[in-house]
């Protein structure tokens, strides 16, 4: 009986984890789709700038890693930032989301960070997604 109960418990835990993972991915995808068209048109002024990416790495560690993980893998309800939805999002959409957040889903807005720093975080996230997509 114990073996059967353990098996059922493991199966239930696996199904729940898979469901949470799928929901998290869907929330992340919807988030970028909710950005206004004007955000999608914004260009990253620091795209390809190694110094901006390095600065973004430090800012990410200070402000984002506690929820999204040191390697952008996501933790708990915070989604992974190494994903097809993030990779397919335009830089301006990521910037918009960092700026405005989504409190309903636990993401604070970071508008208090200077614009340059928010773009540096975008540069870092994009660099990690580019490396993961290769």
pLDDT in tens, 4-40: 767 667 776 555 554 444 444 444 445 566 788 898 8
Number of domains in the chain: 1
More confident residue, 129 or 118: 118
* CATH number of the domain enclosing 104: 1.10.760.10
pLDDT of residue 134: 59
* pLDDT, tens only, 48-60: 999 999 999 999 9
pLDDT digits (tens, 9 = 90+) for 73-97: 988 888 889 988 888 899 999 999 9
Query: Does the predicted TM-score (pTM) go above 0.95?
Result: no
Is 122:57 a contact under the CB 8 Å cutoff? no
At 93, list the tokens: 């959409």
Q: CA neighbours within 13 Å on the CB side: how many for 7?
A: 4
110, β-bridge pairs: none
50 token code pair: 């190694």
Structural domain containing residue 66: 2-132
2: Cβ–Cβ under 8 A, 6 or more apart, which residues? Answer: none
């Amino acid at each position: 009986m114990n073996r059967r109960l353990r098996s059922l418990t493991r199966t239930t835990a696996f199904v729940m984890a898979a469901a949470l993972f799928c929901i998290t991915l869907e929330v992340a995808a919807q988030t970028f789709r909710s950005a206004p068209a004007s955000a999608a048109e914004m260009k990253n002024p620091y795209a390809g700038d190694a110094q901006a990416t390095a600065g973004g790495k430090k800012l990410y560690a200070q402000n984002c890693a506690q929820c999204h993980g040191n390697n952008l893998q996501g933790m708990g309800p915070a989604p992974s930032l190494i994903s097809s939805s993030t990779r397919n999002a335009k830089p301006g959409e990521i910037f918009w989301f960092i700026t405005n957040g989504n409190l309903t889903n636990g993401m604070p807005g970071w508008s208090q960070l200077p614009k340059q720093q928010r773009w540096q975080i975008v540069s870092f996230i994009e660099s990690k997604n580019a490396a993961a997509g290769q």
